[in-house]
């Protein structure tokens, strides 16, 4: 592995830390960009705090979360426990939406959501909300933690095994689902294994079952014989097969490649050379995710001008981002339903591949759904920005439509509005007589436009 | 001359928009101009304001001594508690309340008296609201205790309104006219006149004119002389508020089939089916309401004739129209209790006459399924028919004493109590059916990973209870502190003599098997033949307890559904629970006799004791 990364060094790569003296001003625009990528956006107060802190300290702040993050997590788990009494995955979806909006540690939630899409498991099939919650808590525990430990836990996670039809797995008829997804979707990516590897690896997971919602190893149904997997012949006792898959050279590139698409840019596909320093860092850090994420967030590659507006916002980024940027809150139950309608139901990924992301978020149908959902969010009776109604919050700018558009643009858009679009929004604001409607209509129009779909 | 038919050009709307700061003054002046009067001494005071109203009046509401009602509210023992609520303090600190307060203070200063005294002067005796179906006019009348004070007030208010208009460059908003020396006014769309110590406001010339002429000359036929009104007035009960509605004339305004012959809702039919009969026939209804320190009572009464009770609803009214609800049972921690007379077996068999075709099909399917479940017995005849046509529905708060089987969401227990017609024949059959049902639930539960029920059998109150309880889970089976919602249930069926209890929990089954009857409230209205068809009560102390048991669930729901923070949600739910504690109980009764039907309701408050 070391040979693979030979010659890679962070200081001399695009992953070198962003330096305001050389790479550009550390200002509100750049902080809002960082927050959009790492934290679904942030309030004016947080933006000011991070501008003052500087890039390294700002990333530190995102990695550790707010001071009360630990206390709030305990309260959040208590809320989840209460919600679980209904045993309804959709209710759990509303709970997670609430967490995304209010969490004092948004990067952790960003990464929890990432792992949820990576190790996708859906409530349409796993109807036991408790199992889904336990899996979600695992993702949160390991959000910035140890990928190897996380993968081992997922391999024995009841929700995952139920989702992949692996509730029973007998040596006479090994179930290949988990083995295939482990290599294709979770660790290696397509093209890095053979069909024979899948069949052999599947034998390693025989006897791994789910009983009464718990993982159980049935030693009588486990195939303890030798298997040949990707050049190694062994009995692969316990969970050594998982380690062997993770130890393959393509594994770190696959994982940092996905992190690149999460945090830096949807496209083009990053080159192997670009990813090599990060892959090396991941291996050097014994598969701990946090150092790699820290490197990416603090890098010229992410904080430089060229990365701004290079991603398409997911529905969660769009709606939660709007709320977090305006210090907002709304009915999580209603928003969770709307996220499902926009194709990103929490706990309801479309399939085991999770969400494809990028350009696939955008089509004429999804744009319409996004506009309608944002309209409902802004007009919902429970929606508040900075503790007051949207109309009242926006009234600070509604007397002057030019200022209204400018203030919203600064807070919500990654890229500058073209002059013609800007003029149209200003004219729209001027054309509305009722001040209490003006702000909401302009906000919805701005967020429904194509530029607002970029992060 | 038309009554107040001056077509005053009302430019105030546009001007008030330009000068909103004077809006409140115009509003208050407009409201209080209801005291606009003129002094004519020649007319006689009527015994009732209804003597001035035409006999085409179809709605009449009369409030006696409104100032006493205001005093009762202002001096109510709960008022200090209400004012101590954070939500009330918050509302009082906000601009709308402060604006009203400032406006009232200014008015009091101008008039030299507190607003409560003003109310006593202007409408100290009565307030009447009436609707005349012929002119489509609404009339509001206020009877003053002191005509001289009201006159002074009128002069002052007219002076204020005119001064306000003058200051804002608007024309005089008050137009004056006379009808046979009686001075009348028009302000906007309102026509005003002083008739003795009554001040009347109406929106229609025709109605106003007819009332002025009735005042001056008397009226041959008035609302007061209308037979329905007179009959309704005879049954008036004590209370500050009395209302009358001429249903016969209002019914013709309803679209065809507004009261359907057959419904698609068996639940509604079971609950209020008899009211569908009444709605087709009753000529009028009247209502009396009394507000007292310890609660609010309302009685709605109608005449009743035997012919109005349809044969198909004999199940509801009872044979010979004497179907009576049983006496209430004494139950600890009851939240709701309903006692009723309903021959459900007969209703089931008469489904073809009572329900629409689609509902009949659904009931047929249910009948088939239930007959199978009841081991081939005819569900309507053999099962439902085995009980007397009256029963109890009881909902009660549960006590969750054993943490090992305490669910997260804590539901109340509920039970049905019936009297068996043939206990010896029914007991073994029901016991067998119950055991089969538990077996079925266990098989279905095992297939879906749900906990299992353990059958029990015990002697109780000289009878027997067959029950089933969910077994406590293994300690490491779930991570949660609590348990699923199933642990609210320990279904049971109990027998003692001819009493049969079907209950959601064993404890309530035990309690109900030995529960003793308590006296129901008397059927009122002076009709000695009256029987209580349905009685119900809701006890807020126990309801408060259930909400308190589920406080964390309610807070979570408020956070997720309403976007509240934990502090906000906690405050809201705590307030709700506290408010429920101020209400003692709500009682409802439907009774009917040979000539009268009556719905009476009472909301009782829980007044603070000396040490609260």
CB-CB contact of A349 with A159 (8 Å): no
More reliable by pLDDT, B370 or A199? A199
Supply the ipTM of this predicted assembly: 0.88
Determine the Cα–Cα distance for residues B120 and A105; give it in Å rounded to an integer. 62
Structure tokens at B454: 């353990």
Give the pLDDT score at B37. 35
User: Under 8 Å CB-to-CB from A104, ≥6 apart: which residues?
Assistant: A65, A66, A67, A68, A69, A72
Residues 445-484 (B) with a CB less than 8 A from some CB of A: 449, 477-482, 484
The CA-based angle A350-A353-A357, given to 5 degrees, is 75
Determine the Cα–Cα distance for residues B294 and A261; give it in Å rounded to an integer. 68
Average pLDDT over residues B105-124: 79
Q: Which of B447, B480, B556 to mutate to test the interface with A (most CBs of A within 10 A)?
A: B556
Determine the Cα–Cα distance for residues B341 and B318; give it in Å rounded to an integer. 7
Phi and psi at residue A186, in whole multiples of 5°? Answer: -100, -35
The answer to whether A331 contacts B482, with C-beta atoms less than 8 Å apart, is no
Determine the Cα–Cα distance for residues A14 and A12; give it in Å rounded to an integer. 7
Structure tokens at A309: 């507006």
Q: Is A212 on the interface with B (CB under 8 A)?
A: yes
More reliable by pLDDT, A166 or B145? A166
Chain B environment of A384 (Cβ under 8 Å): 563
The answer to whether A331 contacts B553, with C-beta atoms less than 8 Å apart, is no
Q: Is A448 on the interface with B (CB under 8 A)?
A: no
The band of B86, judged by pLDDT with boundaries at 50, 70 and 90, is: confident
Query: What number of residues does chain A have?
Result: 455
Average pLDDT over residues B11-16: 34
The band of B442, judged by pLDDT with boundaries at 50, 70 and 90, is: very high
Give the pLDDT score at B612. 59
Average pLDDT over residues B424-452: 87
Q: What is the dihedral of CA B439, B442, B446, B448, to 10 degrees?
A: 120
Give the pLDDT score at A341. 94
Q: Is B565 on the interface with A (CB under 8 A)?
A: yes
Chain B environment of A75 (Cβ under 8 Å): 566
CB-CB contact of B132 with B58 (8 Å): yes
Name the residue in chain A with its Cα closest to that of B557.
Answer: A83
SS3 of B86, please?
Answer: helix
Average pLDDT over residues B472-500: 81
Give the pLDDT score at B146. 67
Give the pLDDT score at B28. 42
B479, B482, B563 ranked by CB distance to A382: nearest: B563
Which segments in chain A show pLDDT lower than 50? 1-8
pLDDT at B376 over 90: no
B477, B556, B562 ranked by CB distance to A79: nearest: B556
Give the pLDDT score at B473. 76
Condensed to tens digits (0 to 9), the pLDDT of residues B194-246 reads 888 888 899 999 999 999 999 888 888 899 999 999 999 998 888 999 999 99
Q: Among B37-51, B88-102, B476-490, B519-533, where is mean pLDDT lowest?
A: B37-51
Please give, rounded to a whole number of angstroms, the shortest distance from the CA of B477 to a CA of chain A: 8
Chain A environment of B559 (Cβ under 8 Å): 79, 98, 332
Condensed to tens digits (0 to 9), the pLDDT of residues A376-431 reads 999 999 999 999 999 999 999 999 999 999 999 999 999 999 999 999 999 999 99
Chain A environment of B408 (Cβ under 8 Å): 81-82, 84-85
Q: What are the extents of the domains in chain A?
A: 315-453
pLDDT at B17 over 50: no
pLDDT at B502 over 90: yes
The answer to whether A83 contacts B552, with C-beta atoms less than 8 Å apart, is no
In A218-350, DSSP assigns E strands to 227-229, 232-234, 328-329
Please give, rounded to a whole number of angstroms, the shortest distance from the CA of B394 to a CA of chain A: 25
The band of B460, judged by pLDDT with boundaries at 50, 70 and 90, is: confident
CB pairs under 8 A between A and B: 67
The answer to whether B560 contacts A212, with C-beta atoms less than 8 Å apart, is no
Average pLDDT over residues B359-385: 88
The answer to whether A79 contacts B477, with C-beta atoms less than 8 Å apart, is no
Give the pLDDT score at B611. 60
The answer to whether B560 contacts A383, with C-beta atoms less than 8 Å apart, is no
Q: Which of B94, B557, B563 to mutate to test the interface with A (most CBs of A within 10 A)?
A: B563
Q: Is B595 on the interface with A (CB under 8 A)?
A: no
The answer to whether B561 contacts A75, with C-beta atoms less than 8 Å apart, is no
Q: Among B3-17, B135-149, B279-293, where is mean pLDDT lowest?
A: B3-17
Q: How far from A292 is each of A58, A260, A455, B478, CA to CA, in Å? A: 16, 10, 21, 36
Give the pLDDT score at B22. 37
- Tally: H helices and E strands in chain B: 21, 22
Average pLDDT over residues B63-69: 89
Q: Is A135 on the interface with B (CB under 8 A)?
A: no
Q: What are the extents of the domains in chain B?
A: 12-225, 415-513
DSSP B239: S
The answer to whether A329 contacts B560, with C-beta atoms less than 8 Å apart, is no
Chain B environment of A82 (Cβ under 8 Å): 408, 552-553, 555-556
The answer to whether B563 contacts A384, with C-beta atoms less than 8 Å apart, is yes
Q: Is B268 on the interface with A (CB under 8 A)?
A: no
Radius of gyration in angstroms for the set of CA atoms belonging to chain A, rounded to a whole number: 23
Give the pLDDT score at B157. 67
Give the pLDDT score at B605. 95
Helices (H), B288-422: 314-317, 344-349, 351-354, 357-373
pLDDT at B551 over 50: yes
Q: How many CB atoms lie within 10 A of CB B34?
A: 22
Q: Which of B471, B559, B564, B573 to mutate to test the interface with A (most CBs of A within 10 A)?
A: B559
Residues 484-513 (B) with a CB less than 8 A from some CB of A: 484-485
Condensed to tens digits (0 to 9), the pLDDT of residues A301-320 reads 999 999 999 999 999 999 99
The answer to whether A382 contacts B553, with C-beta atoms less than 8 Å apart, is no
Give the pLDDT score at B132. 96
Q: Is A205 on the interface with B (CB under 8 A)?
A: no
Q: What is the dihedral of CA A39, A42, A47, A50, to 10 degrees?
A: -30
The answer to whether B408 contacts A95, with C-beta atoms less than 8 Å apart, is no
Give the pLDDT score at B120. 76
The reply to whether omega before A268 is within 30° of 0 (cis) is: yes
More reliable by pLDDT, B144 or B16? B144
Name the residue in chain A with its Cα closest to that of B446.
Answer: A212
The answer to whether B484 contacts A332, with C-beta atoms less than 8 Å apart, is no
Average pLDDT over residues B339-349: 95
């Amino acid at each position: 592995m070391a040979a693979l990364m030979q010659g890679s060094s962070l200081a001399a790569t695009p992953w070198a830390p962003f330096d305001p003296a050389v790479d550009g001003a550390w200002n509100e625009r750049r902080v809002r960009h960082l927050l959009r990528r790492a934290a679904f956006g942030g309030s004016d107060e947080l933006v000011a705090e991070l501008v003052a802190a500087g890039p390294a300290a700002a990333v530190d702040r995102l990695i550790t979360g707010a001071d009360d993050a630990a206390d709030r997590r305990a309260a959040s788990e208590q809320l989840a426990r209460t919600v679980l009494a209904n045993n309804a995955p959709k209710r759990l979806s509303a709970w997670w939406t609430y967490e995304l909006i209010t969490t004092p540690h948004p990067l952790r939630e960003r990464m929890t959501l990432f792992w949820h899409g990576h190790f996708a498991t859906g409530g349409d099939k796993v109807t036991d909300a408790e199992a889904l919650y336990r899996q979600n808590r695992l993702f949160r525990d390991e959000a910035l933690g140890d990928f190897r430990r996380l993968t081992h836990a997922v391999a024995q996670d009841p929700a995952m095994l139920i989702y992949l039809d692996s509730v029973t797995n007998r040596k006479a008829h090994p179930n290949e689902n988990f083995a295939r997804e482990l290599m294709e979707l979770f660790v290696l990516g397509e093209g890095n294994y053979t069909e024979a590897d899948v069949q052999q690896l599947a034998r390693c997971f025989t006897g791994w079952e789910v009983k009464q919602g718990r993982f159980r190893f049935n030693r009588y149904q486990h195939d303890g014989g030798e298997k040949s997997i990707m050049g190694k012949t062994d009995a692969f006792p316990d969970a050594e097969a998982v380690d062997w898959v993770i130890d393959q050279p393509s594994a770190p590139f696959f994982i940092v490649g996905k992190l690149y698409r999460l945090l830096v840019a949807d496209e083009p596909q990053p080159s192997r050379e670009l990813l090599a320093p990060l892959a090396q860092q991941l291996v050097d850090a014994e598969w701990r995710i946090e150092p790699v994420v820290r490197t990416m967030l603090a890098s010229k590659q992410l904080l430089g001008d060229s990365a701004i507006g290079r991603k398409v916002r997911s529905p969660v980024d769009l709606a939660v981002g709007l709320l977090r940027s305006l210090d907002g809150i709304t009915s999580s139950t209603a928003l969770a339903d709307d996220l499902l309608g926009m194709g990103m139901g929490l706990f309801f990924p479309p399939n085991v591949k999770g969400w494809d992301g990028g350009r696939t978020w955008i089509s004429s149908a999804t744009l319409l759904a996004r506009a309608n959902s944002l309209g409902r969010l802004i007009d919902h009776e429970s929606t508040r920005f900075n503790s007051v109604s949207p109309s009242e919050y926006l009234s600070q700018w509604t007397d002057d439509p030019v200022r209204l558009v400018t203030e919203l643009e600064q807070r919500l858009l990654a890229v500058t509005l073209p002059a013609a679009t800007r003029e149209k929004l200003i004219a729209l604001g001027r054309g509305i007589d009722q001040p209490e409607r003006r702000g909401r209509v302009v906000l919805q129009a701005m967020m429904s436009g194509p530029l607002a779909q970029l992060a | 001359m038309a009554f107040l038919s001056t077509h005053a050009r009302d430019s105030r709307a546009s001007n008030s928009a330009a000068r909103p700061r004077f809006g409140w003054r115009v509003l208050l002046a407009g409201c209080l101009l209801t005291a606009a009067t003129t002094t004519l001494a020649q007319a006689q005071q009527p015994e009732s304001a209804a003597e001035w109203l035409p006999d085409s009046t179809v709605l009449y509401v009369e409030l006696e001594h409104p100032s006493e009602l205001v005093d009762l509210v202002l001096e109510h023992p709960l008022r200090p508690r209400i004012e101590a609520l954070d939500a009330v303090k918050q509302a009082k600190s906000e601009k709308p309340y402060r604006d009203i307060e400032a406006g009232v203070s200014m008015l009091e200063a101008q008039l030299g008296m507190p607003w409560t005294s003003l109310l006593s002067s202007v409408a100290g005796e009565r307030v009447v609201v009436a609707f005349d179906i012929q002119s489509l006019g609404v009339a509001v009348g206020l009877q003053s205790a002191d005509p001289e004070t009201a006159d002074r007030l009128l002069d002052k208010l007219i002076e204020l309104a005119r001064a306000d208009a003058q200051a804002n460059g608007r024309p005089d908003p008050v137009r004056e006219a006379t009808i046979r020396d009686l001075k009348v006014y028009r302000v906007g769309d309102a026509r005003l006149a002083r008739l003795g110590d009554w001040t009347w406001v109406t929106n229609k010339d025709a109605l106003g004119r007819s009332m002025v002429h009735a005042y001056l000359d008397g009226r041959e036929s008035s609302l007061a002389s209308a037979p329905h009104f007179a009959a309704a007035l005879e049954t008036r009960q004590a209370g500050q508020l009395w209302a009358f509605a001429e249903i016969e004339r209002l019914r013709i305004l309803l679209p065809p089939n507004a009261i359907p012959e057959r419904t698609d809702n068996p639940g509604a039919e079971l609950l209020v089916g008899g009211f569908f009969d009444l709605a087709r026939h009753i000529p009028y209804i009247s209502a009396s309401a009394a507000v007292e320190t310890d609660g609010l009572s309302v009685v709605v009464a109608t005449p009743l004739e035997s012919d109005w009770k349809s044969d198909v609803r004999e199940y509801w009214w009872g044979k010979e129209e004497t179907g009576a609800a049983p006496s209430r049972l004494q139950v600890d921690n009851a939240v709701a209790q309903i006692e009723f007379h309903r021959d459900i077996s007969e209703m089931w068999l008469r489904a073809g006459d009572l329900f629409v075709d689609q509902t009949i099909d659904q009931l047929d399917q249910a009948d088939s399924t239930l007959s199978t479940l009841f081991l081939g017995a005819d569900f309507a005849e053999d099962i439902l028919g085995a009980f007397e046509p009256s029963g109890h529905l009881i909902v009660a708060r549960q006590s969750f004493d054993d943490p090992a089987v305490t669910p997260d969401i804590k539901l109340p227990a509920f039970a049905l109590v019936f009297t068996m017609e043939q206990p010896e024949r029914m007991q073994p059959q029901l016991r067998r059916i119950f055991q089969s049902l538990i077996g079925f639930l266990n098989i279905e539960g095992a297939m879906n990973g749900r906990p299992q029920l353990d059958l029990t059998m015990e002697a109780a109150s000289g009878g027997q209870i067959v029950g089933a309880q969910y077994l406590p889970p293994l300690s490491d089976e779930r991570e949660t502190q609590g348990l699923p919602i199933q642990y609210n249930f320990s279904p049971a069926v109990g027998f003692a003599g001819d009493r049969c209890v079907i209950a959601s929990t064993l404890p309530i089954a035990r309690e109900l098997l030995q529960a003793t009857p308590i006296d129901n409230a008397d059927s009122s209205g002076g009709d000695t033949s009256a029987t209580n068809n349905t009685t119900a009560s809701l006890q807020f102390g126990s309801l408060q307890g259930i909400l308190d048991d589920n406080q964390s669930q309610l807070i979570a729901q408020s956070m997720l559904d309403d976007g509240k923070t934990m502090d906000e949600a906690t405050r809201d739910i705590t307030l709700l629970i506290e408010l429920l504690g101020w209400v003692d109980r709500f009682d409802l009764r439907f009774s009917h006799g040979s000539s009268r039907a009556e719905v009476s309701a009472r909301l009782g408050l829980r007044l603070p004791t000396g040490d609260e």
